[in-house]
Structure 1
Amino acid sequence: MKALTPDRMSQLLPHMTPLPGGKYLHWDELRRRPTPEGLTHAEWWAAVTLSRGALVQTLPLKDKQGEPFMFATPAPVTIDLHHIDRDAAGQIRGEGDTLKTDSHRFLISSLIEEAITSSQLEGAATTRKVAAAMLRSGRRPRDISERMIFNNYQAMEHLRSLRDEPLTPDHVLALHRMLSEDTLEDAADVGCYRRNDSVQVVDVRDNTALHVPPSHTELPERMQRLCDFANADEQSQPFIHPVIRAVLLHFMIGYDHPFADGNGRTARALFYWSMARSGYWLMEYTSISHILRKAPVKYMRAYLHTETDKNDTTYFLLHQLQTIRQAIAALHAYVDRKVTEQRETQQLLSRSAALRGRFNHRQVALLNHALRNTGEGYRVDAHQRSHAVAYQTARSDLLTLAELNLLEVTRQGNAFVFYAPDDLRKRLGKMAK
């Protein structure tokens, strides 16, 4: 790069922006774009990095060389934080009463979705329908893939009870134990820090090492530092926005890779703990893994850009903040869809004077689900868990629908299973006349 003389600096000044082209670009992206007239790529990059300096905040978290991580707050970060503050800590837009009324059912659905997709990100191979049926029915897992999902579901439920407690290294180890029980090749790795430095993050396409974590001998000290960071609040200096804190907690578990396996599941679970601790209640009903699973390469690239640009975690922040916003948007769309479907079912049922007011909201929800899932089986215990009611109440709900010929009942072992008939809508239509 040419010496930055006063004249040369005057040429750089118009291009000193942290967001060339409106984006927080990494060098690997910027060097592939046409340069501003009269500048080399190196000079353009110098202008960009100089302009980011005023936005940078150093963190108490360190890389494996002992150098601090940092982050910047360009406009896209503050815009994303504004939307997340509004949408995840406030009231849900539109049909807010629906989420409040059916909160347990929505929460169960969300926990199931996150348990499944978080496990699938790390290799669990089973269909969502089979996994969801296992979790709703309480059936024990049959293989490692189902066990990963079952463990993830249990761990996510467990974390809800820890939202008001400070995080400790022992909590993290216990969480990993819950997540990885009966899923690792070596049972000695369950709930323990990795015991060597053989763990690497590799490119599955050619087995190239993408990231080599810190030495296993540093892990106890690094985990304590991370817990101290996670427990800081708004009185701590310097102030770090709680959503940024939650995302960085996720980032550091991925960076340190403290476990032989299950690091991703642990990182995402701790993110949810941190968000809940800071009052972002709506995040309990979302699944970030569902979004991440659609573009895993972008997830990995966000890590790599941080490590190859002076520990600048802004790349990871931007990726995760967008992921959070997409997860929230998906929840809103889900709620709107459920409200519409439930309203249509209620309208269908209300056409009949004989049936008007006959069904409670749990039965309406089940019929609505059955209309979209022909042949689906329903068990009393699963219906009980989905709606948090007594067993007898759940049993009465299903038996009443069977008596009305809206469900068909059979026996599996000692339990009754109720099935939605193929012509359920037709049967409802006849009854509604």
Structure 2
Amino acid sequence: MHLPLTPPDLTALLAGLAPADLAALFNRPEPPSPLVDGRYLHWDELRHREPPAGLTHEHWWVRIKLARQGLYKTLPLLDRDGQPFVLGVPEPIQIHLHHIDRDAAGQIATASPMHGEHRDRYLMHSLIEEAITSSQLEGASTTRRVAEQMLREGRRPRDASERMIFNNFRAMEMIRERRDEAITPAQVLELHRIVTENTLDDPADAGRLRRDDEVTVREVRDNTLLHQPPRWRELPERLERLCAFANQAEDASPYVHPVLSAILLHFMLGYDHPFADGNGRTARALFYWAMARSRYWLVEFISISHFLRQAPSKYVRAYLHTETDDNDTSYFAIHQLDTIRHAIAALHDYLARTSSEQRQTERLLAGSLRSRLNHRQIALLTHALRHPGEEYRIDSHQRTHGVVYQTARSDLLALESLGLLQRFKAGNAYVFAAVEDLRERIAELAASFERPGT
């Protein structure tokens, strides 16, 4: 990975300007702006662009940097040298926050697909997606199909990759259960223990802070050092400080928007790298916890790791831009806000697609047959039409829809009695699969129920 070039020192640049040059720098017709064409650029990108007429790259950077300093809030979070991190809220961040506040918080509309009977199915989909992709970011190699079957069926993991995914799923479930609780050092350690259980070289490292300074962040391909975390002896105090920030009241100073606070928790846990392994997974899980505590309910249904995995170098670069430019976390905040909004848009696309597919299935079922099936059975038939050959088990149907075992069993047996599923034995359990001519069988069955006397 190309390491970003550290910006020139602002104090040195200002000291090197003659009084007349300094006056000319600030008497230009256009006001200084923290942005370049609407973007919050790092020096490493800025130096490759054509500066405004009459400015060198260095003088252009002076104007930009001074405009940014006017926006900075000093955070109660420190780098490894004891210097504070800062955060600015330029217009791109304000726009992102407006959309996320509008789309991810507030009340769930009664007409929303997230309301009522479909909620558990959509939630299971998102929990599985985040568990899989967060693990894949850290090297898990299990195929999506196998991983999804494991989680839906509740099967125990068979190898390290499956265990990593299984643990991530358990961590997301833990967050749902404890969303209203304070984030404490003990809770963070417990979260890490769940995420890393039976996946570490030394099992004792699960749920405890690292005990040496051997942990570094390096480029996988050429072993280039990307980040040297703080010293291990400082980690207990740093974790206490981080949790105090996570739980600070709304009237604390400086005020930090809840979404930005959650993003900063993600950033700092990744920066501190307080564990022997599993830091990234724990950091992303901590973000979800903070968002859930602040009542951003829609975030339960999105996967940020899905998008981080698509462009991992941008994820790393957001960290490096912050570290190389005076601890300015605005770079990381903008990257994560953009990721959250992409994830929300993807969720809406998924909802539109699944709702359309379900309506098509309901039209196919028609009249009397449709009235004999519940929403869970219709969802299963919709899935079976899209995935010929897929197998269904009572326990996976139970977990997908959040119902008791007997309800799930009755759903599948009823579909079998209608001739839409067939049942066979697999070990000690029954497995169901759609009949080969499912679409035709549904049409015939629907027609038969419309005949007089049926």
> What TM-score do the two structures reach when normalised by structure 1?
0.96
The answer for the alignment partner of 1:246 in structure 2 is 262
Find the aligned partners of 1:31 and 1:127 in 2 and give their Cα distance: 42
Find the aligned partners of 1:358 and 1:43 in 2 and give their Cα distance: 73
When residues 293 and 286 of structure 1 are mapped into structure 2, their CA distance, relative to the original with a 3 A threshold, is: same
The answer for the alignment partner of 2:6 in structure 1 is none
Find the aligned partners of 2:445 and 2:206 in 1 and give their Cα distance: 55
Alpha carbons 2:25, 2:59 under 8 Å: kept = no
Aligned-pair CA distance for 1:98 = 4.9
Paired residue secondary structure (2:74): strand
1:68 equivalent to 2:95? Answer no
Identity of aligned residues (%): 61
Alpha carbons 2:74, 2:254 under 8 Å: kept = no
Q: Could you give the per-residue CA deviations for residues 3-56 of structure 1, whole angstroms, max 9, x where no partner exists?
A: 152454334543621002221000000001111112111111011001111111
The answer for the alignment partner of 2:295 in structure 1 is 279
Find the aligned partners of 2:314 and 2:327 in 1 and give their Cα distance: 18
- Unaligned 5+ residue runs, structure 1? none
The answer for the alignment partner of 1:165 in structure 2 is 181
Find the aligned partners of 1:92 and 1:340 in 2 and give their Cα distance: 20
Aligned-pair CA distance for 1:432 = 3.0
Alpha carbons 2:113, 2:351 under 8 Å: kept = no
Aligned partner of 2:435 among 409, 421, 424:
421
1:430 equivalent to 2:444? Answer yes
Alpha carbons 1:92, 1:332 under 8 Å: kept = no
Alpha carbons 1:408, 1:419 under 8 Å: kept = yes
Alpha carbons 2:109, 2:115 under 8 Å: kept = no
Aligned-pair CA distance for 1:412 = 0.9
Alpha carbons 2:71, 2:90 under 8 Å: kept = yes
Question: Is the deviation greater in 223-232 or in 381-390?
Answer: 381-390
Alpha carbons 1:272, 1:284 under 8 Å: kept = yes
Find the aligned partners of 2:114 and 2:84 in 1 and give their Cα distance: 45
Find the aligned partners of 1:274 and 1:348 in 2 and give their Cα distance: 43
* Superposition pairs of residues 312-331 of structure 1, within 5 angstroms: 312-331=328-347
Alpha carbons 1:272, 1:283 under 8 Å: kept = yes
Q: Which amino acid aligns with 1:65?
A: D
Q: Could you give the per-residue CA deviations for residues 401-427 of structure 1, whole angstroms, max 9, x where no partner exists?
A: 112221121101121000123321222
The answer for the alignment partner of 2:126 in structure 1 is 110
Find the aligned partners of 2:147 and 2:126 in 1 and give their Cα distance: 13
The answer for the alignment partner of 1:367 in structure 2 is 381
1:401 equivalent to 2:389? Answer no
- Unaligned 5+ residue runs, structure 2? 1-12, 448-454
Question: Which consecutive segments of 4 or more residues in structure 1 shift more than 6 A?
Answer: none
Q: Could you give the per-residue CA deviations for residues 324-365 of structure 1, whole angstroms, max 9, x where no partner exists?
A: 1111111111111111111111111015x4x24111111001
The answer for the alignment partner of 1:379 in structure 2 is 393
Aligned residue pairs: how many? 431
Paired residue secondary structure (2:372): coil
The answer for the alignment partner of 2:284 in structure 1 is 268
Paired residue secondary structure (1:18): coil
The answer for the alignment partner of 2:60 in structure 1 is 44
Alpha carbons 1:95, 1:336 under 8 Å: kept = no
Aligned-pair CA distance for 1:97 = 4.6
Paired residue secondary structure (2:37): helix
Paired residue secondary structure (1:236): coil
Paired residue secondary structure (1:96): coil
> What TM-score do the two structures reach when normalised by structure 2?
0.92
Q: Which amino acid aligns with 2:288?
A: Y
The answer for the alignment partner of 1:130 in structure 2 is 146
